[in-house]
Structure 1
Amino acid sequence: MITDLWLVGIGTGNPGHVTLEGMQALRDAAVVLLPLKGAAKVEISALRHTILDAAGTTAGIRAFDYPERDPALPYAARVQAWHDEIARRWVAALQGAPEGPVALLVWGDPALYDSTLRIAERLTPRPKLRVIPGITAIQALTAAHAIPLGSVNGAIKITTGRRLRAEGWPEGEETVVVLLDAECSFAGLDPEGLHIWWGANLGSPAQVLCSGPLSEVAQEIVALRQGARAEQGWIMDSYLLRRAPKGGTD
């Protein structure tokens, strides 16, 4: 039974993206849950171990295999069943574990396009949750390109590749940040007036960046993404799109 669950944001896997509070939590935890995501994600698991080593934790490590989503189910049902199975695997991995807080390392920030909080709601009884934010992919992206997130007095829309493909450019928006896009959905947009800042594996030695007018760099980004994924066996990328306002940039 999990009584205290600590979700520690670890940025993009760079130990420097974990806050001092997060490092202290890893030292104070009794157990760390460690997901295993297959042979292609061995490096991701190694990054988690690097962070644990940097924190100097003495917590027990309980690993569990990450389940695959069932492609035969509709999207919403597929995600629900996937989350249910992950929760079951958390509980199974912690059988006989030492009592005390359980820590789980979460890429980016536990509250930003991450399902860990929703999965935790499935536990019975519900544990006491503690969320420790880390550097988000959005922060890492804008810092890598040395750009502000928004324009002067401009709104910002955060969305997913799935929605961008289905709905196109959000009407009335000037700045759009896109996460979770394995299909390079930007390539399907009308590029007129759009500038893109893209980054993959941000904050790591394998970081790749590209920016420019969408009409000029879209295919270059597609090729860079394919190459980085082939070389690393995995990829985590995000991008910011901005439409130049009528009358020029601010």
Structure 2
Amino acid sequence: MLNSVTILNFDGAYNQQTFYQKHPHQTVDFESIRNANLLCDRENLTMMYETLQKRRCSGVHYLGSGNYHYLSFLLQYNISKPYTLILFDHHTDTIPSPSENLISCGSWVLNSLDHFSMLHKVIMIGVGEDAKEHIPPSIQHKVILYTKNSLPDNTQTLLNEIETDSVYISIDKDVLNRKEAITDWDQGSMSLQTLLEILKEIIQQKEILGADVCGEYPVNPTNEYDLETQAAIEINNDTNRIIFENIKRWENYKSRNLVHYSRNKILQKHS
């Protein structure tokens, strides 16, 4: 299910990126939706949900700027088995929204824990050193925090915290250093290599129910040809490509091994 790319287009952030073009892909257009930046009301969220139900395939979703990270809430909506949310992010996204009618890029994890009974735990990787201060007491028992400085040397230690067989993966590139991603938020200092090493182990050992990536640099008609913007597009495009191609490769490798294992079991049964 992770062999294709779905682009969620709010602001043309991917118009000059090419990482997805040689792979099966589709674009879901949300550019006409007003008042969706940072915050989204229930009416617009429902409209987006209904639109997403009509998409041809799912694959890895690219959400655009971190301002639209709340779309990860919708992408978990139909999960019907116990799962863990694996979040690579410099921020916890657990700050309550200003209104019950609104969801925000900074509240969607809290909303997910409040609304989804199948969501057992959230493991946050790469958050800031002050992350614990932003976790409401009501959900602290369901959240595990790993800052860059507290990541275990052995990835298996982190994997042991995942009690479910299935996971949903969400990546905000603001977790990365600015050599490997450029966003419009304050960023962490994790290397892409570290992110990929953890991601590989999770994909190899768990069922992946879905995955999304955000953290694009905002592009608009006033800045799209600036040298700074063009540099950001190039860096983010390359990182997006590396993330997707590795997810696809590891998922395919796991699938082939499962098929091989199943065939061997059948042969053993009838020998």
* TM-score bucket (shorter structure): 0.3 to 0.5
Alignment TM-score, normalising by the size of structure 1: 0.34
Alignment TM-score, normalising by the size of structure 2: 0.32
